[in-house]
Amino acid sequence: MIQITNQPIDAQQLLEAVRSPLAGAELLFIGTTREITGDRRTESLVYECYEAMALREMEQLAQQASQRWSLCGCAIVHRVGPVGISEASVMIAVSSPHRDNAFAAGRWLIDTLKERVPIWKQENWADGTSEWVHPGIES
């Protein structure tokens, strides 16, 4: 299950997608939109993506993780468009025979997604300003 959606993400769907009789561990990571960053308050977040390429990259991440950690299942769903405070912007679910591989794969998947997948967020700050988040670039 690899998806990009402009609707709220349903955790249950991801868990069902990775369910397997071979699994002894299911792990679900939920990335949520943070209201307070340092001393600034976020009013809302908007995500934009290059959908065709983002889906391809997410498929590749799932395949790589599945091979490297012998996963039973792997699901990645990212939300785009406006996302309210404390709502999920991304969910990753993995299942594996034992928990160590599930934790390792989940960690690698979210870290690598944030490095590679062409998705961007725009912070709309409570002070009325807004900015695209481009790590490594001074805005």
Partner 1 sequence: MPPSESPGSTANEAIEILFFAQAKEFAQQASLRLAHIEHETVAELRVRVRAEIPRLETLLPHCMFAINEAYANEHSPIPAGAKVACIPPVSGG
Can you tell me which of 19, 36, 37, 52 binds partner 1, judged by CB under 8 A? Answer: 52
CB 76 within 8 A of CB 113: yes
Q: Which is nearer to partner 1, 62 or 113 (CB)?
A: 113
Minimum CB–partner distance for residue 22 and partner 1 (Å)? 28
97 lies in the binding site for partner 1 (CB under 8 A):
no
Region from 18-26, 65-73, 95-103, 130-138 binding partner 1, contact rule CB under 8 A = 130-138
Q: Can you tell me the distance from the alpha carbon of 54 to that of 57, in angstroms, rounded to the nearest whole number?
A: 5
83 lies in the binding site for partner 1 (CB under 8 A):
no
The CA distances from residue 49 to 33, 69, 71, 84, 118, in Å, are: 16, 28, 27, 17, 6
Minimum CB–partner distance for residue 70 and partner 1 (Å)? 25
Residue at token pair 């679900």: 28
Binding site for partner 1 (CB under 8 A): 31, 47-50, 52-54, 56, 78, 89-90, 110, 113-122, 132-137
